[in-house]
């Protein structure tokens, strides 16, 4: 099998990826690219990263056999990679530590981030506090309202949260605003992007920092089962937790990689956030070329998902590439299906999953049902659901 | 000689500098775009940068973002922008029009179709903010084949080696971004701009326009002493935003007159 070695040196994954930014950002990205090249294989840097992942995040995150759930589904065995047990409650912290350590080495005293549900914002604020960096988080004004507890968490951690009032006032607008901040404060600021999107080297760098998920999973599955799973399932908004668990498996034959997008109210309604599954056209947004939900004039359309973390009109360029080369498959799960999986995991296994991860779970269950009990489905449980209890309560007409 | 080249050659012969106003097509209303184009010409515009509205204008400050949002409320899209340029060309064959916008609307239309329609409409130059030269070689070739100039940005952070790369692909004129930031941000540092423009002149004979921080007649005057063209974007869009349908044209023309006088005084 040919060894997978992407992206190329210009950050292209086939026709996807690249560096589509205004000239004002080009030098900053080049500086970042060179610094990352310098440190990505540097033993001291990697040792510091590994130390923080172990002692600050609590890695390795365990793999858990959801036996009662598997029995209830009546098909393949469902295993969960427990990223929900990480410090701050999701996989996001892995990447923010990597980038913050880089920021420190680059002598940048200030970090900025965009956030949707607030998980990446919290993870950035957390590591900024730990390293003594100034932290500013951009968050769509709509999301600020919807995710009040995370906004407060960020403030507790000493970050400044700036509500973004432009455009649709959600994640994509927060990203635009963070880019504007970066271009203005380029000399002292490091932009910590939370997903495998953005201009090169971000998609590659974020993937590399998240790959710890897949690297651990491979070893843990070998130890627990003596073999690798038949399928690895992860949710995809921008796609960082999915890239993190997929990447180490790309060259492993016989392991299906399945990304689960948000079908929202249903693909047929147009009210979703599933550019890959809905065959959206290719376009350019946030510094990279990828599949993008857009209208016929090329304007980005508003997306919908019950889960703020999946509510994004594009997708990381490497997912676009993995789809095109048919190494990964992409499917979509509706709000209702995700909610069902959410409640089922709570009641069956005593784990409250994030709404994002509930999409992966829902599809994992669907898939497991078609398989035999001696087969294995590994679901990346990317985060815990404490942040979602208000959303769930509201859907059940309960006031907390 | 392209329309842009002719304009710069003519101005140079007269010892004058170009005034390049920017506004977003469809702002405040699509019906007013063609009248605004003519009004700008009548009040001293040498070249006009016409913004193509986009849902995610990452390089723009709040003023131009709001202009994009107003235009998009009227379903303004690239196809309609091109139709407006065509309309304008029916009575004006002299003033160059440069489309300024983002890559995605062009890619959504299809690069080849865009170039053909732009040529047919009488577009003279295209500045695609998020197409650095490395990512748009084919696009550039097609623009060149259609006789449309490729306008590129140079920024305060652009290294000399990159300047060489950019000037090789640029035609028409170069656009020097006078500050680190988005359109309409902060105050430009005229000493720094002067130094950088002089450096760029060492690499190219193309005319150099300066913009992103020209806020008033005074900065326009200072910039015109250094550059070949003064680009006024956010300030122009602000004048549009602060007008109603009755005083829109007079307000824009009053601002133009002020800028024109300042530039011509150098």
- How many residue pairs bridge chain A and chain B with CB atoms within 8 Å of each other? 121
Q: Give the model's pLDDT for residue A310.
A: 94
Contact B148, B176 (CB under 8 A): no
Name the residue facing A180 among B108, B158, B182 (closest C-beta).
Answer: B182
Distance from CA of B245 to the nearest CA of A (A): 24
Closest-CA residue of chain B to A164: B62
Q: CB–CB of A176 and B58 under 8 A? A: yes
Per residue in A334-393, pLDDT tens?
A: 999 999 999 999 999 999 999 999 999 999 999 999 999 999 999 999 999 999 998 899
In sequence order, which residues have a C-beta less than 8 Å from that of residue B74 and are 6 or more positions away? B26, B29, B30
Give the HSE-up count for residue B20: Cα atoms under 13 Å, Cβ half-sphere.
33
Kindly tell me the number of DSSP H helices and DSSP E strands found in chain B.
Answer: 12, 9
ipTM of the complex: 0.96
CA distance linking residue A21 with residue A34, whole number of Å: 17
Q: CB–CB of B54 and A298 under 8 A? A: yes
Q: Which chain A positions have a beta carbon within 8 Å of B77's beta carbon?
A: 296-299
Print burial letters for A144-159: b (CB count within 10 Å at least 16), e (below 16). bebbeebbebbeebeb
Query: Could you read off the pLDDT tens digit of each residue along chain B, which spans 266 residues?
Result: 899 999 999 999 999 999 999 999 999 999 999 999 999 999 999 999 999 999 999 999 999 999 999 999 999 999 999 999 999 999 999 999 999 999 999 999 999 999 999 999 999 999 999 999 999 999 999 999 999 999 999 999 899 999 999 999 999 999 999 888 888 777 788 999 999 999 999 999 999 999 988 999 999 999 999 999 999 999 999 999 999 989 999 999 999 999 999 999 98
- Give the Å distances, CA to CA, from B102 to A53, A108, A184: 39, 30, 19
Q: Which chain A positions have a beta carbon within 8 Å of B71's beta carbon?
A: none
Name the residue facing B153 among A23, A187, A287 (closest C-beta).
Answer: A23
pLDDT band at A1 (very low <50, low <70, confident <90, very high): low
- Which single residue is written with the structure tokens 């849902």? B55
Average pLDDT over chain A reads 96
Q: What is the mean pLDDT of residues A283-302?
A: 97
Per residue in A191-231, pLDDT tens?
A: 999 999 999 999 999 999 999 999 999 999 999 999 999 99
Per residue in A47-59, pLDDT tens?
A: 999 999 999 999 9
**The whole model's pTM is what?**
0.97
Structure tokens that stand for A294 in this block: 């857009």
Q: Clarify whether A382 is annotated catalytic.
A: yes
Per residue in A71-110, pLDDT tens?
A: 999 999 999 999 999 999 999 999 999 999 999 999 999 9
B8 in contact with chain A, both atoms CB, cutoff 8 A: no
CA gyration radius for chain B? 17
Q: Whose CA is closest to A359, among A380, A378, A374?
A: A380
Tell me whether the omega of the peptide bond preceding residue A289 falls within 30 degrees of 0, making it cis: no
CA distance linking residue A313 with residue A303, whole number of Å: 6
Q: CB–CB of A22 and B108 under 8 A? A: no
Question: Any idea what DSSP says for residue A159?
Answer: -
Distance from CA of B105 to the nearest CA of A (A): 4
DSSP 3-state of A4: coil
Interface of A to B at Cβ within 8 Å reads 10, 18-24, 26-28, 166-167, 172-173, 176, 179-180, 183-187, 281-287, 292, 294, 296-300
Q: Whose CA is closest to B176, among B214, B215, B210?
A: B210
Q: Which chain B positions have a beta carbon within 8 Å of A292's beta carbon?
A: 104
Q: CB–CB of B131 and A20 under 8 A? A: yes
Determine the residue among B75, B130, B139, B163 to mutate to test chain A binding: the one whose Cβ has the most chain A Cβ atoms within 10 Å. B130
Per residue in A227-261, pLDDT tens?
A: 999 999 999 999 999 999 999 999 999 999 999 99
Name the residue facing B134 among A10, A285, A294 (closest C-beta).
Answer: A10
Contact A361, A381 (CB under 8 A): yes
Q: Which chain B positions have a beta carbon within 8 Å of A290's beta carbon?
A: none
Q: CB–CB of B59 and A292 under 8 A? A: no
pLDDT band at A2 (very low <50, low <70, confident <90, very high): low
């Amino acid at each position: 099998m040919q060894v997978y070695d992407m992206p190329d040196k210009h950050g292209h994954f086939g026709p996807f990826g690249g560096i589509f930014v205004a000239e004002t950002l080009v030098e900053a990205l080049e500086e970042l690219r060179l610094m990352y090249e310098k440190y990505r294989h540097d033993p001291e840097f990697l040792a510091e990263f590994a130390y923080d992942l172990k002692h600050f995040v609590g890695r390795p995150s365990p793999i858990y056999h959801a036996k009662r759930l598997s029995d209830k589904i009546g098909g393949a065995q469902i295993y969960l990679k427990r990223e929900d047990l990480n410090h701050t409650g999701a996989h996001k912290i892995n990447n923010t530590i990597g980038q913050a350590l880089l920021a420190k080495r680059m002598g940048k005293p200030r970090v900025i981030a965009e956030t949707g549900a607030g998980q990446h914002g919290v993870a950035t604020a957390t590591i900024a506090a730990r390293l003594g960096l100034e932290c500013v988080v951009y968050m769509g004004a709509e999301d600020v309202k919807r995710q009040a507890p995370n906004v407060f968490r960020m403030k507790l951690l000493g970050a400044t949260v700036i509500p973004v009032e432009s455009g649709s006032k959600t994640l994509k607008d927060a990203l635009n605003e963070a880019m504007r901040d970066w271009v203005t404060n380029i000399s002292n600021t490091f932009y910590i992007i939370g997903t495998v999107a953005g201009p090169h080297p971000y998609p590659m760098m974020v993937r590399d920092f998240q790959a710890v998920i897949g690297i651990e999973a491979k070893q843990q599955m070998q130890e627990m089962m003596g073999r690798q799973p038949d399928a690895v399932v992860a949710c995809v908004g921008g796609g960082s937790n999915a890239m993190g668990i997929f990447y180490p498996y790309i060259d492993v034959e016989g392991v299906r990689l399945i990304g689960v997008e948000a079908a929202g109210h249903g693909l047929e309604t147009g009210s979703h956030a599933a550019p890959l599954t809905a065959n959206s056209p290719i376009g350019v947004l946030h510094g990279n070329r990828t599949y993008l939900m857009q209208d016929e004039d090329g304007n980005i359309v508003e997306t919908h998902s019950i889960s703020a973390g999946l509510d994004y009109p594009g997708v990381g360029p490497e997912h676009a590439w993995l789809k095109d080369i048919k190494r990964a498959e992409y499917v979509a799960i509706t709000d209702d299906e995700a909610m069902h999986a959410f409640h089922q995991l709570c009641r069956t296994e005593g784990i409250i999953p994030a709404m994002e991860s509930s999409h992966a779970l829902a599809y994992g269950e669907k898939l497991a049902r078609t398989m035999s009990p001696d087969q294995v489905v590994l679901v990346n449980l990317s985060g815990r659901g404490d942040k979602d209890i208000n959303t769930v309560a509201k859907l059940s007409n309960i006031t907390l | 000689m392209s329309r842009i080249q002719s304009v710069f050659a003519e101005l140079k012969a007269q010892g004058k500098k170009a005034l390049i106003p920017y506004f977003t097509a469809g702002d405040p209303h699509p019906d007013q775009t063609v009248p605004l184009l003519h009004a700008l010409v009548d009040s001293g515009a040498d070249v006009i940068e016409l913004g193509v509205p986009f849902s995610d204008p990452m390089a723009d400050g709040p003023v131009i973002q709001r202009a994009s949002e107003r235009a998009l409320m009227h379903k303004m899209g690239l196809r309609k922008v091109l139709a407006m340029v065509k309309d304008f060309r029916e009575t004006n064959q002299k003033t160059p029009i440069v489309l300024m916008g983002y890559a995605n609307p062009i890619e959504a239309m299809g690069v080849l179709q865009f170039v053909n329609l732009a040529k047919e409409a009488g577009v003279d130059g295209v500045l695609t903010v998020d197409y650095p030269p490395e990512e748009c070689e084919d696009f550039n070739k097609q623009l060149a084949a259609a006789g449309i100039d490729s306008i590129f940005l140079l920024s305060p952070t652009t290294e000399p080696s990159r300047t060489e790369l950019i000037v090789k692909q640029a035609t028409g004129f170069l656009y020097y971004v006078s500050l680190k930031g988005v359109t309409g941000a902060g105050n430009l540092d005229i000493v720094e701009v002067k130094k950088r423009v002089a450096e760029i002149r060492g690499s190219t004979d193309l005319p150099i326009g300066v913009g992103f921080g020209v806020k008033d007649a005074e900065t326009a005057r200072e910039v015109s002493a250094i550059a070949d063209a003064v680009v006024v974007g956010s300030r122009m869009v602000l004048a549009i935003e602060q007008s109603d349908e009755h005083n829109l044209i007079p307000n824009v023309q009053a601002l133009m007159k002020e800028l024109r006088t300042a530039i011509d005084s150098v």
